[in-house]
Structure 1
Amino acid sequence: MLTNEQVVEHALERITAGYVFPEKAAVVDAAIRGRLAAGAYEGLDGPALCATVTAHLQEVCPDKHLRLLWTDEPQSLEPVDDDGGEAAFLALLRAENQGIRRVEHLEGSVGLIDVRRIATAAEGASAIGAAMQLVAHSSALVLDLRACLGGSPEGAAMWCSYFFRDDQVHLNDIYDRSTDTTRQFWTVAHLPAPRYADRPVYVLTSEATFSGGEDVAYTLQAHGRAVVVGGTTRGGAHPTARHPVAEHVLVTVPTARAVNTVTGTNWEGVGVVPDVQVPAERALEEALKALLSD
């Protein structure tokens, strides 16, 4: 069984090797090693160690994706099994209907899709297409991301693609530190359901909306394709890998950063600021009021 010092050391190795901003990784490493030397992590149980180290990490580098996480399920520590958390994420999506909680038709022929996670484009295309097919003939659409906790950049681009006429919209770019490359994300050419390019779209957000959910909200807002209603989101814009550093401890390391083609920046640390700011629990009411009064 690893000591707390060993767990933290392994986490720092991952952060130093992979964090998207190397200069910040060096500062994080020095600060946490100072805490180690001072005995800050001695005697803590696993969950408390994760919470304490996470707080210290974010004091130095306020990146909400940079964390130590406790997991009740034991993780393999074999290098061959370390896929950055992809297999676990795909299993979660399959168990949660590719992140789509419900689809409804509301008063005034307004469609509603409640999305809790952003699926990968490869596995989620059919489910996303099925949801969009069900609202294809609505007069307007509400995309509810108030409880969306994140997901795949490719999936975010697929969701956004439905709201543009063709594949000629350059949505954003993602710079990846490990390969020192920038990948462009454009609207998808072929979709399994009709596009929704000619009708109003409202996106609901809350203080819980995070990561991939923020990507969809920010991108549609920046390109002038949706009105965002609700609360300012959490502010996590860096695609992230998860690595086991002990049987029950994962370190999440942001390895890339998004750059929107309209704003030239992203929502890291500031969140997506709604066009109409209201308490999240009133966001649907406000969106419907605006849609039905048009």
Structure 2
Amino acid sequence: MRKHVLAVAILAAAVPAMAQAAATAPAGEIAIYDAAEAKKAVAKLADEIEKTFVFPDVAKRYAAALRAKLAAGGYDGFTDSVAFARAVTADLQAVAPDGHLAMFLDGGPSPQPRAAQGGAPVAPPPSPMERAGMIAPGIAFVRFNGFYGQPETLKAFAEFLDRTAGAKTLIIDARTHRGGGLEEMDVLFPRIFAKAQPVMVMDTRASVAAVNGPLPFRSLVKVDAPAELARSEHRVTPVSPASPWVNAKIYYLVSPRTASAAEHLASSFKGTKRATLIGDTTAGAGHYGGAVKLGGGYSAFIPFGHSYFPGDKGWEGTGVTPDIKVAPERALVEALTRAGVAPAEAEALSAEYMPTGSMARRTR
């Protein structure tokens, strides 16, 4: 069974989940390096990329580069598994940059805290949803650190939206959002849109879709596509009767840390003009895919799909630019003042609601 990664959460499924993750080597682990196994893993990685990477022409270039370096002895001399995986990742990125493509040790980015070498356990990741409530009169606020589709989060999000329906403004803070799936968006969209419409196109490589089936989200509708692709539209079906949220002003706070599924939402908001984006340009991780075992203790995240707003080209490598560009740390102040909060109060609320996680671009 192939494992598909939703941001930092690892979900095993019979069909591929949309994976929106920045795959890196697990922190704090020491792995015994086996040169023969490492080289076998590179050979398998080349084969897997060639079969499944979203763009077949680029896939061939990746595979050729790995095989050429392997044949030339370019992967000889390593003594450390983490350094080896990072070197292979760097070689792939040198061929064609991709916000998700990476080799890492089995386990990848884990939702469980790992013990640091010689130190205390690493702090657990933040909750997927934080600080949901009224931040000021008539202004609802919620922060997302990831869209992991957990039933308890979806229930809490729906209850928050229903409880605060009637607010004039909704502020969604995605400045520390690392990615995920579509379920949280599918809780939000039927409430905030007044008419049915597509908000995203998702192209999956046909060879992957033929083996694994369609992406497992009920809001996706299959549409015609070229033979090499399996194309779905992410569609909105508004609730009936219409929610009071259709009349609310929405601000979406972004940063260079805002990645993957959070960019899917950003692009949907910007394309439909349903929300105002405030902050800085997002991470530029616009492909989705899955994690595959390579053997020898290695895995890789291989993008097999590409997302883009209808009529647009997507945000891979470029990010989604905000409507109002300010330092991410100032984004909430900007949103609050635009919503009518006095400057001094906006400053105080921004300090109180400042994310604890990083808003800087993620590095490999």
* Alpha-carbon separation, structure 2, partners of 1:172 and 1:220: 10
Aligned residues: 273
* Alpha-carbon separation, structure 1, partners of 2:158 and 2:296: 38
* Alpha-carbon separation, structure 2, partners of 1:188 and 1:96: 33
| C-alpha displacement of 1:59 | 1.2
2:254 counterpart residue number: 205
Question: How much identity, in percent, do the aligned residues show?
Answer: 25
2:39 counterpart residue number: 5
Q: Secondary structure in 2 aligned to 1:151?
A: coil
Name the CA shift for 1:133/1:108 in 2 (closer, same or farther; >3 Å). same
Say yes or no: does 1:286 pair with 2:315.
no
* Alpha-carbon separation, structure 1, partners of 2:250 and 2:187: 16
* Alpha-carbon separation, structure 2, partners of 1:266 and 1:154: 21
Name the CA shift for 1:247/1:39 in 2 (closer, same or farther; >3 Å). closer
Out of 21, 30, 33, which is 2:64 matched to? Answer: 30
Aligned AA (1:278): V
Contact 1:172 1:259 in 2 (8 A): yes
| C-alpha displacement of 1:8 | 1.1
Contact 1:160 1:220 in 2 (8 A): no
Contact 2:287 2:305 in 1 (8 A): yes
Out of 172, 176, 185, which is 2:204 matched to? Answer: 176
| C-alpha displacement of 1:120 | 3.4
* Alpha-carbon separation, structure 1, partners of 2:137 and 2:72: 63
* Alpha-carbon separation, structure 2, partners of 1:195 and 1:243: 44
Q: Which stretches in structure 2 are left out of the alignment for 5+ residues?
A: 1-33, 112-123, 210-228, 343-364
* Alpha-carbon separation, structure 2, partners of 1:247 and 1:137: 55
Out of 277, 282, 291, which is 1:233 matched to? Answer: 282
* Alpha-carbon separation, structure 2, partners of 1:132 and 1:97: 21
Deviates more, 1:43-52 or 1:119-128: 119-128
* Alpha-carbon separation, structure 1, partners of 2:341 and 2:83: 51
* Alpha-carbon separation, structure 2, partners of 1:169 and 1:135: 25
Q: Secondary structure in 1 aligned to 2:287?
A: coil
* Alpha-carbon separation, structure 2, partners of 1:255 and 1:123: 29
Name the CA shift for 1:273/1:251 in 2 (closer, same or farther; >3 Å). same
1:81 counterpart residue number: none
Contact 1:106 1:112 in 2 (8 A): yes
Contact 2:139 2:169 in 1 (8 A): yes
Contact 1:141 1:202 in 2 (8 A): yes
User: Any idea what the Cα deviations from partners look like across 1:123-150, whole Å, max 9, x if unmatched?
Assistant: 8542331232243232201100111111
* Alpha-carbon separation, structure 2, partners of 1:227 and 1:23: 36
Q: Secondary structure in 1 aligned to 2:141?
A: strand
| C-alpha displacement of 1:157 | 4.4
Contact 2:278 2:331 in 1 (8 A): yes
Identify the structure with the greater helix proportion: 1
* Alpha-carbon separation, structure 2, partners of 1:234 and 1:38: 34
* Alpha-carbon separation, structure 2, partners of 1:183 and 1:154: 16
* Alpha-carbon separation, structure 1, partners of 2:180 and 2:142: 16
* Alpha-carbon separation, structure 1, partners of 2:170 and 2:234: 23
| C-alpha displacement of 1:194 | 4.4
* Alpha-carbon separation, structure 2, partners of 1:195 and 1:20: 40
Aligned AA (1:5): K
Say yes or no: does 1:103 pair with 2:151.
no
Deviates more, 1:95-104 or 1:172-181: 95-104
Out of 44, 55, 59, which is 2:90 matched to? Answer: 55
Q: Secondary structure in 1 aligned to 2:256?
A: coil
1:92 counterpart residue number: none
1:243 counterpart residue number: 292
Contact 2:182 2:261 in 1 (8 A): yes
Deviates more, 1:1-10 or 1:47-56: 1-10
1:82 counterpart residue number: none
1:66 counterpart residue number: 101
Aligned AA (2:204): D
Contact 1:98 1:124 in 2 (8 A): no
2:121 counterpart residue number: none
Question: What TM-score, normalized by structure 2, do the two folds share?
Answer: 0.68
Aligned AA (1:7): A
Name the CA shift for 1:146/1:129 in 2 (closer, same or farther; >3 Å). same
Contact 1:176 1:256 in 2 (8 A): yes
Say yes or no: does 1:270 pair with 2:299.
no
Contact 2:287 2:304 in 1 (8 A): yes
Contact 2:192 2:246 in 1 (8 A): yes
Aligned AA (1:19): F
| C-alpha displacement of 1:287 | 1.0
* Alpha-carbon separation, structure 2, partners of 1:147 and 1:27: 33
Deviates more, 1:50-59 or 1:179-188: 179-188
| C-alpha displacement of 1:264 | 2.6
Q: Secondary structure in 2 aligned to 1:149?
A: coil
Q: Secondary structure in 2 aligned to 1:196?
A: helix
Contact 1:20 1:256 in 2 (8 A): yes
Q: Secondary structure in 1 aligned to 2:172?
A: strand
Say yes or no: does 1:196 pair with 2:245.
yes
Q: Which stretches in structure 1 are left out of the alignment for 5+ residues?
A: 76-84, 90-94
User: Any idea what the Cα deviations from partners look like across 1:80-108, whole Å, max 9, x if unmatched?
Assistant: xxxxx9xx88xxxxx98982123131123
Question: What TM-score, normalized by structure 1, do the two folds share?
Answer: 0.83
2:270 counterpart residue number: 221
